[in-house]
Structures are given as structure tokens and as C-alpha cells.
């Protein structure tokens, strides 16, 4: 009987600033590998994002290597693709180092010249191939550009890309690929990237996202995800839960509370003994008076830890004070204020005011619900860079504005001067909506 394990999104090294969570994340991976050894699987597939970044801390590397070596010593083969987190286009990533050390084998070689996929044959005779994930979903183009040939015999396709039909609505993704773009003829599709345990079928073959072994963000922890991975025995997939700690999630609606009342309510949490290792408290709403800073969150956290929690995370992103509300009323004059400040500081000498305003619009977009910090960062970076690339065009616009002030008969001048006409054409292409501004 052939059996293999399918893991993804381990994100080793995540939670760099919270040592407890960082440790639980590592332990979850170690546990998963121990289970693979106990269950005597033939091989393990890691469908990307084994590490949280391409160059993790050496203590994280050490833990990962020890675990992988244990499996390798039992004769278990390990196959992997890059995820969007552990790939670096400019430099070798740790994934490359581990491949050089023969701890595992990458089943994809980037943009192969033949434009088709090569298969790696495991000792069981199963053929494995796949495509890596890339930042900003550049991997989606592979599915359009590559020629997929149907494999002979039993084969597995590994990928780290969101599939449109499987993507939960609360997860933000710039781009997805349709299920129809995923190559045909495989007996198992081993996915990664979407941090949920999801299962679908393609022509009768399972297509699976195993979800996270622990999670990489507070957003992941706040959801009651089925943490774990899959073991597939005789092509029958079974989810294997991995629970290294218990998580208590508390939602507090602070609407209309005074800061002192909210602090009291939060402290109530520490009145009884806490058995869960991790306590996540989410506070949302608008305070009746004062601001969130009036609450001694440090004290609240300490008290909950004293009651038995190993680590406490207070999410107060959606808690607003009265002052915030007062600022909101002023928002009507926002652009006027920005205008004034830019004039005062001589902004037009550095970049054009239009550019500065559009950039501000990009930077002030708030994080979407369900969007992870990483996705949010990526989105903002991407949009900001798109704008920066167009900086020249803004400067052209500026020049043209000056000309139009000189001549009242600008439209007529256009006919006489082809150069100006081109500039005008360019100007018409731009509006705030082109840059996603509003
Ligand atoms: Mn991931």
C-alpha cells in the first residue's frame, strides 16, 4: 500500500515577535513529521511556504533540519515546491540549501525552457511534478504559458496557487487561477497557499489544500481552522489534525463603553483559572468617551497571563475612541488640508502634487477584512510601486498643465503642434480611478 503525507503552509519562523507562538508553530511542524514517521509514509509532499521567509533565523533552520533528517533517516522521501513566502528571485532561498543537502527534492525547476513540466519519479513509481508559488501571484501566468502534457501512470501535481472556485470569500487574493487551468490527468492535486483545509475534485481526483499546521498570523489564529495536514493511503486522503496548544478566543463588543468599564470587563477574564495556552481577545466598537490608549492593556495582558495563559494577544484594531470619531467629521476637508500642507512644504519641487495625492490615496487604504498582514503589505507595495513607475507621466502632466495656462486657445494649439497633442492624449488617459484612487 502506497501512503504519502501532504503538508503546506508551515511558515516556520512566523510570529517572530511572540516567542510562545513562534515555538508552537515550530512544534506543530515537528509533531506533523513525527506522525508521518509513526504512520510510516513513503514520502512527504510540502506544497510551499515551509518557511515564513526565504532566509529564516538559524535556530528555526536547525529545528526544521533536525525534523527532516529524522524522516529521511527512516527512508522517507520529501518533495517540495517554493511557496510565495520562501522564494527569493534574487538569491538562493533556504529551500535551495535544503535541496543541495539532499534533504528534499524540489519537483519543479523554474521556467523550464521546454515550457513543459518534468516529473520526478518516486521509488513507489509515482510521478510528481508541480509549480511553485510566487509573490504577488506571478505564478498564475505559468498556468497560461506552460504546455501541460498528461502524465503516464499515477502522478501527483503540487501547486501553491489559489484556485478561483475554492477560494473562500473572506480571503483577499489579487489573482486566482480557474480550476480548468490546472493540468489534467493527475491522481492527486497537492495544494498550498490558502490557509484553510479545503477539498474539491477534478475529474474524480482529489484537489486539496491541507491548510496550516499552525498558522502564520493572528488572523489565522483567530479562526478556528482545522489545523493539520493530510495522509493519503491508497489514494484515499484523510485529514490529520495537529493540536499543540489550546486557543481561547474571546470577542468583546465595547460599543458605548467607558475606558474604565472596558478595562474592568477585560480584567474579568482573569478572574477564573485559564487552561488554554493561548488567549486571543478581540475588542471592537466605539467607546462612549476617551480613547483606547486610556486602557492599561499591558496590565490586562499581565493579569490574564497570571491566571494561566502562556501568551495573550489583544486585537484592538477595531476599537475606536471618541477622538477618532471627531476626526472623521473633519474628513470633508481632508483634501483641502492635504493641499495646504503640500503647498506649505513646497511639495511641487520634489514630486508633483497630483502624484503625492495619488500616493497618499494608495497608502491610506485600510486592510480588508480577512486579509492577512502579508497580503495587505504586498497589495500596498504593489500599488505604490505601480504609481512610482508612472512618475514620469505625472511630470509630463504637470508640464502640460503649465502650457494650458499660458494659452487660452489650447485646443486649437493642439492641431498645430503634434507634440502637444500627444501630451494631451496622455493626460486623458489618467484619472484618479486609473490608479485605484477614490
Ligand atoms: Mn502560506
Q: Are residues 266 and 367 in the same domain?
A: no
Task: Give the pLDDT confidence score for residue 362 in this predicted structure.
Answer: 87
pLDDT higher than threshold 60 for residue 327: no
CA of 412 to the centre of ligand 1 (A): 57
Residues with CB under 5 A from ligand 1 (ion): 9, 49
CA of 350 to the centre of ligand 1 (A): 39
CA of 176 to the centre of ligand 1 (A): 15
Contact 159, 190 (CB under 8 A): yes
- Which pLDDT tens digit goes with each residue over 74-84? 999 999 998 88
pLDDT higher than threshold 50 for residue 383: yes
Task: Give the pLDDT confidence score for residue 283 in this predicted structure.
Answer: 95
Residue 337 domain-assigned?
no
CA of 88 to the centre of ligand 1 (A): 15
Task: Give the pLDDT confidence score for residue 113 in this predicted structure.
Answer: 60
Q: Are residues 277 and 400 in the same domain?
A: no
Domain end call among 194, 220, 241: 241
Residue 380 domain-assigned?
yes
Q: Are residues 18 and 109 in the same domain?
A: yes
Q: Are residues 24 and 68 in the same domain?
A: yes
Q: Are residues 258 and 365 in the same domain?
A: no
Q: How confident is the model at residue 192 (pLDDT cuts 50, 70, 90)?
A: very high
Backbone angles phi, psi at 314, to 5 degrees: -105, 115
**What mean pLDDT do residues 300-329 have?**
82
Domains contained in the chain, number:
3
**What mean pLDDT do residues 219-236 have?**
93
Full DSSP string of 364-432: TPPPPTT--HHHHHHHHHHHHHHHHHTHHHHHHHHHHHHHHHH-TTHHHHHHH-HHHHHHHHHHHH--G
Q: Are residues 362 and 421 in the same domain?
A: yes
**What mean pLDDT do residues 86-97 have?**
78
Domain end call among 326, 360, 376: 326
CA distance 438 to 435: 9
Q: Which domain holds residue 129?
A: 3-241
CA of 374 to the centre of ligand 1 (A): 9
Q: Are residues 293 and 373 in the same domain?
A: no
**What mean pLDDT do residues 327-345 have?**
67
Q: How confident is the model at residue 332 (pLDDT cuts 50, 70, 90)?
A: low
Task: Give the pLDDT confidence score for residue 412 in this predicted structure.
Answer: 34
CA of 47 to the centre of ligand 1 (A): 9
CA of 196 to the centre of ligand 1 (A): 10
Q: Which positions are catalytic?
A: 85
Please state which of the ranges 16-30, 103-117, 200-214, 392-406 shows the lowest mean pLDDT.
Answer: 392-406
CA of 290 to the centre of ligand 1 (A): 38
Task: Give the pLDDT confidence score for residue 350 in this predicted structure.
Answer: 64
pLDDT higher than threshold 80 for residue 263: yes
CA of 195 to the centre of ligand 1 (A): 6
CATH number of the domain at 162, please. 3.60.21.10
Q: Are residues 369 and 294 in the same domain?
A: no
Nearest partner of 237 among 190, 179, 186, judged by Cα: 190
Task: Give the pLDDT confidence score for residue 253 in this predicted structure.
Answer: 96
Q: What mean pLDDT value characterizes the chain?
A: 83
Full DSSP string of 354-368: HHHHHHHHHHTPPPP
Q: Which three cell numbers stand for residue 223?
A: 479562526
Regarding predicted confidence, which is higher, 300 or 333? 300
250 Cβ neighbours under 8 A, 6+ residues apart: 269, 279, 280, 281, 282
Residue 338 domain-assigned?
no
Q: Which three cell numbers stand for residue 68?
A: 527532516
Angle made by CA atoms 435, 436, 438, in degrees to the nearest 5 = 115
205 Cβ neighbours under 8 A, 6+ residues apart: 186, 187, 188, 189
Q: How confident is the model at residue 254 (pLDDT cuts 50, 70, 90)?
A: very high
Amino acid at each position: 500500500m502506497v501512503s504519502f503525507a501532504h503538508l503546506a503552509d508551515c511558515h516556520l519562523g512566523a510570529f517572530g515577535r511572540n516567542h510562545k507562538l513562534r515555538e508552537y508553530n515550530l512544534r506543530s511542524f515537528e509533531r506533523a513529521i513525527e506522525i508521518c514517521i509513526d504512520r510510516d509514509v513513503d514520502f512527504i509532499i510540502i506544497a510551499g511556504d515551509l518557511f515564513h521567509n526565504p532566509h529564516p533565523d538559524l535556530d528555526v533552520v536547525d529545528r526544521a533540519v533536525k525534523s527532516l533528517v529524522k524522516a529521511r533517516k527512516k527512508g522517507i522521501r520529501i518533495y517540495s515546491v517554493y511557496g510565495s513566502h520562501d522564494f527569493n528571485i534574487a538569491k538562493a532561498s533556504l529551500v535551495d540549501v535544503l535541496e543541495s543537502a539532499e534533504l528534499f527534492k524540489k519537483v519543479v525547476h523554474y521556467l523550464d525552457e521546454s515550457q513543459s513540466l518534468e516529473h520526478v519519479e518516486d521509488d513507489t513509481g509515482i510521478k510528481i511534478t508541480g509549480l511553485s508559488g510566487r509573490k504577488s501571484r506571478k505564478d498564475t501566468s505559468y498556468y497560461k504559458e506552460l504546455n501541460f502534457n498528461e502524465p503516464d501512470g499515477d502522478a501527483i501535481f503540487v501547486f501553491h496557487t489559489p484556485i478561483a472556485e475554492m477560494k473562500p470569500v473572506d480571503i483577499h487574493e489579487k489573482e486566482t487561477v480557474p480550476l480548468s487551468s490546472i493540468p489534467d490527468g493527475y491522481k492527486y492535486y497537492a495544494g498550498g497557499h490558502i490557509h484553510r483545509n479545503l477539498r474539491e475534485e477534478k475529474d474524480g481526483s482529489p484537489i486539496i489544500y491541507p491548510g496550516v499546521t499552525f498558522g502564520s498570523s493572528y488572523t489565522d489564529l483567530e479562526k478556528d481552522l482545522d489545523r493539520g495536514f493530510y495522509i493519503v493511503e491508497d489514494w484515499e486522503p484523510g485529514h490529520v489534525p495537529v493540536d499543540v496548544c489550546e486557543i481561547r478566543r474571546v470577542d468583546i463588543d465595547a460599543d458605548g463603553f467607558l475606558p474604565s468599564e472596558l478595562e474592568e470587563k477585560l480584567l474579568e477574564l482573569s478572574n477564573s483559572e485559564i487552561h488554554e495556552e493561548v488567549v486571543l481577545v478581540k475588542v471592537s466598537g466605539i467607546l462612549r468617551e476617551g480613547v483606547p490608549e486610556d486602557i492599561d492593556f499591558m496590565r490586562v495582558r499581565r493579569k490574564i497571563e497570571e491566571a494561566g495563559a502562556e501568551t495573550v494577544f489583544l486585537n484592538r484594531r477595531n476599537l475606536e475612541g471618541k477622538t477618532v470619531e471627531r476626526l472623521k467629521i473633519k474628513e470633508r476637508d481632508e483634501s483641502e488640508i492635504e493641499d495646504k500642507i503640500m503647498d506649505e512644504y513646497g511639495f511641487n519641487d520634489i514630486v508633483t502634487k497630483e502624484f503625492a495625492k495619488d500616493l497618499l490615496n494608495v497608502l491610506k487604504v485600510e486592510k480588508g477584512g480577512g486579509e492577512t498582514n502579508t497580503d495587505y503589505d504586498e497589495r500596498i507595495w504593489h500599488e505604490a510601486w505601480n504609481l512610482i513607475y508612472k512618475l514620469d507621466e505625472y511630470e509630463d502632466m504637470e508640464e502640460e498643465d503649465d502650457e494650458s495656462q499660458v494659452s487660452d486657445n489650447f485646443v486649437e494649439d493642439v492641431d498645430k503642434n503634434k507634440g502637444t497633442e500627444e501630451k494631451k492624449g496622455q493626460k486623458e488617459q489618467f484619472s484618479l480611478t486609473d490608479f485605484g484612487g477614490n
